[in-house]
Amino acid sequence: MTPTPSSPVVLLTGATGGLGTALAQTLAARGTRLGITARTPDTLHALAHRLASTGAEVVPLACDAADPVGTTAATEQLVAAYGRIDALIANAGVEGPVGPTWELPLDDWWSAVRTNILATTATAHTVLPHMVRQRSGRIVSISSAAGHHRWPTLSAYSVSKAAAIKYIENIAHEAREHNIQAFSLHPGLLPTGLSTTALTAPPATPWHARRSTWVRNQLADGHGTPVHRAVDA
């Protein structure tokens, strides 16, 4: 579908990961005008080039989604290009350290929590003023069952996802009067992204090996979610 001046403008963070790339490709195919972010400029620009070659309108915005300064600059660049922003898909994040919480370096644990929380909150914080002014918008934060349940030995990931869920709940209520909707979406256990890392990276510790075994068994037993289903959601 060819984008038009009335096509929605979508900001997608974490665009070069497994789910992020699938989202970018589908959004582009559906005619959205797309801003994509990632921390790796070369990979980001390669993705943007592939999408543009199909006729998509895409703006590569190299930045760390957890950096408020970089995220603000990226958002302003997208708004300057298209005059508005209709939706944010906050997909960026990290897995964090793996192991019993008390055995993990506290700095590593907190760094993962901080990164994942800011990857959602910093981006939402910078897009919301634009959405409030235009009296419309939608925010989708890619979440996890670990955020409302638990994930032993991946506590930093679990805690950060729980915090992001609660943040989105508050935004959903605060921004409702401005015709802005906010959601947390658990895409399911996908055979890509963090699962790929778990299945392909040599396990650094027995805890990494246990995580890999769990992911492999869940997918083998049919408890995974096809990527296309998560993207459609």
Instruction: Name which of 168, 163, 147 is nearest 88 in CA terms.
Output: 168
Cα separation, 73 vs 57, in Å, equals 19
Residue linked to tokens 């993962």: 112
End-to-end CA distance of the chain: 19
Active site (catalytic) residues: 157
Predicted pLDDT at 189: 84
Cα separation, 181 vs 202, in Å, equals 41
Cα separation, 71 vs 13, in Å, equals 10
How high is the mean pLDDT in each 10-residue block of the chain (233 residues)?
A: 86 94 95 96 96 95 95 96 96 93 96 96 97 97 90 94 97 97 92 71 83 84 88 92
Predicted pLDDT at 191: 78
- CATH class of the 9-188 domain in this structure: alpha beta
Predicted pLDDT at 193: 65
Predicted pLDDT at 199: 72
Predicted pLDDT at 58: 96
- The 10s digit of each residue's pLDDT in 164-213 is 999 999 999 999 999 999 999 999 888 766 667 777 777 788 988 888 88
Per-domain boundaries in the chain: 9-188
Predicted pLDDT at 204: 80
Q: Which 3 state secondary structure label does DSSP give 71?
A: helix
CB-based contacts of 177, cutoff 8 Å, min separation 6: none
